[in-house]
A and B are shown apart, each in its own frame.
Chain A
């Protein structure tokens, strides 16, 4: 089966711009999660979507938002980019109460 796919692989933006990151879950998985992995830090939980609804969000400002589409794919949007938003953004999908399956991530660089 195809795994979790993320696009783009790399994204370079300037401060103040907006970034859009995309994720396609494993077929049959209805939950999608977004994590930020900044250099030297662990994974910080960003957002959880399930069945098209935002179920929970981590301790991030409203500049970080997203949505889940009817086909369960998801977008993460980051507005008004700041330098400290530079990180690896990982998407994961799962079934209920099952381990997360991660994609390869999008490396966002803000200059």
Chain B
């Protein structure tokens, strides 16, 4: 079975600073996707960034980037120039490549607070 672990229940960062959220996962699969989702107080889960395991290049989306270490099964999210709107729960998620999104496994989340 796949498991996703987020070991930081809560984090805070000063506005304009950089913060890194950690995520590790356990799988025997070779092909898979990894995602970071953001859940602000509005409750809607918003896709932040995705990474295909077969790609060695780390994904980047504006101020958001990942450090994907396949051998270590690590997938951290770096948020640069943090903004107040980044305050939210952040969930790391794993999806098998073959069988589709019915096998999307989530971590327990990290609550990020951006301090003005």
Contact = CB atoms under 8 A, between A and B. Distances in A.
B45 A90 contact: yes
A33 B104 CA distance: 10
B47 A101 contact: yes
Contacts of A99: 33, 35, 47, 50, 101
Interface stretch (B55-63, B65-73, B75-83, B106-114): B106-114
A25 interface: no
Given A99-B35, A99-B50, A45 B44 contact: no
Interface in A1-45: 3, 31, 33, 35, 40-43, 45
B85 interface: no
B46 to A, nearest CB: 8
Contacts of B97: 97
Nearest to A107: B43
A107 to B, nearest CB: 8
A77 B33 CA distance: 30
Given A102-B45, A104-B44, A33 B101 contact: yes
A88 interface: yes
Interface residues of A, number: 26
A56 interface: yes
A94 B108 contact: no
A88 B47 contact: no
A43 B106 contact: yes
B42 interface: yes
B101 A98 contact: yes
B100 interface: yes
B77 to A, nearest CB: 15
Nearest to B105: A45
B44 A56 contact: no
B13 to A, nearest CB: 22
Given A42-B91, A43-B91, A55 B102 contact: yes
B106 A105 contact: no
B12 to A, nearest CB: 19
Interface of B: 4, 33, 35, 37, 42-47, 50, 91, 97, 100-109
